[in-house]
């Protein structure tokens, strides 16, 4: 049985330009976000949710990547 991952680097293919647009223009994005993305790009509700999810995960990633705790911490 395969489990869906929360990997933000997964292949989003045709959604990539929309994800980057949202990350760069979040303050200009109409509210509510999902209907706005559906109107702007003509995507399904599922794709609009993926765009929002991946944009948020990628926004959070740099802070998490710089934190080298846990398994990445050097042994003293």
Per-domain residue ranges of the chain: 16-62
pLDDT recorded at residue 29? 86
CA dist 74 and 51 (Å) reads 35
DSSP label of 28? G
Cα 67 from chain centre? 19
Tokens of 71: 């398994």
Instruction: Please give the model's pTM, rounded to 2 decimal places.
Output: 0.66
**Tens digit of pLDDT for each residue in 18-74?**
999 999 999 888 899 999 999 999 999 999 999 999 999 998 876 555 555 555 555
């Amino acid at each position: 049985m395969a489990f869906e991952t929360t990997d933000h680097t997964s292949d989003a293919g045709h959604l990539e330009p929309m994800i980057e647009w949202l990350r760069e223009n979040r303050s200009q994005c109409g509210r509510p976000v999902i209907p706005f993305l559906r109107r702007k790009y003509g995507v399904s509700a599922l794709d609009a949710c993926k765009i929002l999810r991946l944009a948020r995960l990628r926004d959070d990633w740099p802070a998490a990547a710089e934190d080298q705790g846990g398994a990445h911490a050097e042994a003293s």
